[in-house]
Structure 1
């Protein structure tokens, strides 16, 4: 009797272990399916990483973009609002988002750090560059007049809000990148082009570096008046538009569908393209960003320095 009881106990224990292993296996499969995990897996939701905006019209055009993406792909889409460019890059790297909108220099960092791929980039009928702005009622007439003053950049990984304004200031002042910050009384990052412009308008900064198209865009929305500001320096033209990136493990069929959708999107939602400083999307290529790489190299600004 004792031997029979022992055998039954062992059989019961073995059966229990098998059931536990099956549950673990099924749970793992369910988790992978629900998140679209795994190389080439189709996600159940397309999460789109973007920077926050204080302008209501821009926010509405972003939400409309998500709705249009969902309609074009048949996959629900939602906006993921990041605090800065680094958050978008990390979200792509860790699989928290499938698509990310970022600046040209951010694109270079994202390809190196997250293995992200170019989906499409904006192109504009207008020439894009960056400007150094002060208030029109300020006494500053040149960047040399800003010595000891408070300067505001946008984001460490921003092309038009850090890279090109910095290069312009260095050229105007004859300073190295290492010497530049100590020229000012203080240097900070606002986290957004609109935030920089509003900070300048509210006298929370003496000067800012921002995209040349930002002032007329915000003036059109009624948030500021163009005549309240003055340009004291501007950069060389920027040839590369804002890139839309995708996570490298998305199915190729989905990537093709998204790219075709974006290349025709200017006819559907021109306000969204306008909010990005562009008039339409083009397929683009990695070599489009070689001029940005050269500027970053000249400034000795590496991803390691920016994202440490």
Structure 2
């Protein structure tokens, strides 16, 4: 996997000209060399034709992971997808959800997995569309939890007054959005008052980093997803007993969103969806590393509950991402 800054990604992608593996340019209706008579100079027709062409390289955006096994799983997913589609698939590592949202908006990546909140922002900003949801199946709902070190005297969020607190990522549902709502509910304070309730509020950069900070006693409190504790512990990065849960959010519907750039060809999208929905049965270890059972059919409306929570915080996406 290549680790790139946003500028480096732009430069690399601009220079990539890779021919399709084995079978040449693929289009909806056969060869790209047929059916062009009488269309020379017709910009509208050329744009319509381009919309049916599969890209020479499909680019998947991934977030950095402390656990090497998770990174290898992401690379394997890209390799398997490329073999299934018959085209080149590349992975690029972004620093955070915000970079992945911007990368899709500027057409530097074609597919990525967002958390529910990151997904609804990507829909607004980047024209993202839902391919499938990563979770434990229909009807399953996760939560966000507030955690402290195992030997912390804190028994509730109230006990963290004047302490330092970590959110995971500005665009994270379980590491930022829902924990904010939980803190407001538990303490009876406004969103604006959160910053002054704690001595310091910052972002760790990911659930794994928040859990490591709490397990090592480097932070007083943090927000993470309920399944992340066992997932990160299973990867050997922490011991589950080194952290303790003191609060939990309301259930979160939707799950992780596998999203694609909205202007991709329809037949490519259907082929990717077919691959994703069958991947759990063929490769359960991939989802085990991700703390889920597989990709499942989903609709955009499944994420309306997350939209409602975002509205209750009375903050725009721009404010949430600061």
TM-score by length of 1: 0.86
Q: 1:82 aligns with which of 60, 71, 94?
A: 94
Match in the other structure for 2:79: 67
The CA deviation at 1:255 is: 0.3
- Identify the residue that residue 143 of structure 1 maps to in structure 2: 157
- Aligned counterparts of 1:266 and 1:149: Cα–Cα separation in 2: 41
Aligned positions of 1:1-308 closer than 5 A:
38-124=50-136, 127-307=141-321
Distance 1:31 1:104 in 2: 31
Where does the alignment leave 5 or more consecutive residues of structure 1 unmatched?
1-29
Deviation at 1:101, TM superposition (A): 1.0
Give the structure with the higher percent helix.
1
What's the CA shift for 1:272? 2.2
SS of residue in 2 equivalent to 1:138: coil
State the 1:191 CA deviation.
1.2
Residue 42 (structure 1) shift: 1.6
Superposed CA RMSD in Å reads 2.1
Give the CA deviation at 1:59.
0.7
Q: Deviations over 1:165-189 (max 9, x none)?
A: 1111111111110111110000001
- TM-score, length of structure 2 as denominator length: 0.82
Aligned match of 1:26:
none
CA contact (8 A) 1:146 1:184 kept: yes
- Point out the structure with max Rg over C-alpha: 1
Structure 1 stretches of 4+ moved >3 Å = 30-41
Number of residue equivalences: 279
CA distance in 2, matches of 1:307, 1:42: 33
Deviation at 1:276, TM superposition (A): 3.2
Per-residue deviation at 1:33? 9.5
Distance 1:31 1:138 in 2: 51
> Distance between the aligned counterparts of 2:143 and 2:274, measured in 1?
28
Q: 1:242-284 CA distances to partner (integer Å, 9 max, x unpaired)? A: 0011111111110000000000100122222233332121121
Deviations 1:71-117, CA, capped at 9 Å, x for gaps: 11011112111101010011100010110111101111000001111
